[in-house]
Amino acid sequence: MFATTTLNPTSLSSSLIPDSHFLRLHQSKGELHNTCAAPLHYSIWIMAFARVCSHCTAAKPSTWLVRHAQGIHNVDGDKNYKAFMSPEYFDAHLTQLGWQQVDNLRKHVHSSGLIKSIDLVITSPLLRTMQTAVGVFGGEAYSDKMDIVPLMVENAGNSDHPAISSLDCPPIVAVELCREHLGVHPCDKRRSISEYRCLFPAVDFSLIESDDDVLWKADVRETKDEVAARGMNFMNWLFTRKEKEIAIVTHSGFLFHTLAAFGNDCHPLVKKEISSHFANCELRSMVILDRGMVGSDCSSTNYPGKIPSGLDSPSDAAADAKKEGKE
């Protein structure tokens, strides 16, 4: 089933046609590495037909969207939204259950063969997203005997996790555009890039201009429209990448507001599915095609996330609860 929607033409470059089509694929059941349940898989393929140049017919990047694993802020924030305001959760790191979720998604990425096709991993430059990115898509355990720089040093960000090798894995690049909803919540403020370079030596931070976090403001929080506009800028930037298979490790709020900008003319059920919140460590496929491409098969690499299950309240949901007077 296809439905047509229109993007704001100012959100994409003049070389892109400002309309998109959404295909809601059939649900299919799958068994995931010894889990008892057979979770339903949803695949929403977002097909943006682009006029990149008059002679170009190649498909644009295939991407896999991943929300970070459970962070320490998700646990207490699920109980009380005021926890998101606590300085204790500055640049929140993963919980031990979060690392188990990372390990399970890593098993899926390898058993499905997806890891062999990924050309590039893009990550938000926050501790929880980088820990997820290197844990899922990085190399095996690092040893001092290896003649290679580690992706992550031992116990990075109070992780109690061994160092991770950068051997035989795709490059990982940090990008500010796919950060979480900016401002007010300390959990969404990043550390200096200098500090991150010590924790994640093989992650590429060259696209980040400022060492300090100049985007996060203690008293001003981005509006939902501003997050969506930033998301459109990020997708527009994706069109410029030469890589064909890209994984993006980011946040619930960023994914929700970016995808919610699509599908306004779709059936309400399709619109709801497109903009549904991601579970911790959930993976969904997104394919961007040019105007010469039509249709596709259902992705076999989607992953429902939240394995093992745990609290995963995003700070955006907590902010909505606050407005409604809920604790």
User: What CATH number has the domain bearing residue 206?
Assistant: 3.40.50.1240
For the entire predicted model, the pTM comes to: 0.74
150 burial (CB, 10 Å; 0-12 / 13-18 / 19+) is buried
What is the rounded distance in angstroms from the CA atom of residue 152 to the CA atom of residue 159? Answer: 10
Cis ω on the peptide bond leading into residue 308 (within 30° of 0)? yes
Question: How many domains does the chain contain in total?
Answer: 1
Q: What is the pLDDT of residue 135?
A: 97
Residue of 137, 112, 115, 121 lying closest to 300 (CA atoms): 112
Non-local CB neighbours of 229 within 8 Å, separated by 6+ positions: 11
The per-residue b/e assignment along 44-61, b for 16 or more CB within 10 angstroms, e otherwise, is bbbbbbbebeeeeeeebb
Q: What is the pLDDT of residue 163?
A: 94
Q: What is the pLDDT of residue 17?
A: 26
The per-residue b/e assignment along 12-22, b for 16 or more CB within 10 angstroms, e otherwise, is beeebeeebbb
- Retrieve residue 279's tokens: 């579970």
Q: What is the pLDDT of residue 285?
A: 87
Catalytic residues: 68, 180
How far CA 293 is from CA of 21, 50, 124, in Å, comes to 12, 10, 30
* Residue range(s) defining the domain that contains residue 67: 2-323
Which stretches in the chain have pLDDT values below 70? 1-61, 263, 287-307, 309-327
- Paired strand residues for 204: 173
- Paired strand residues for 28: 41
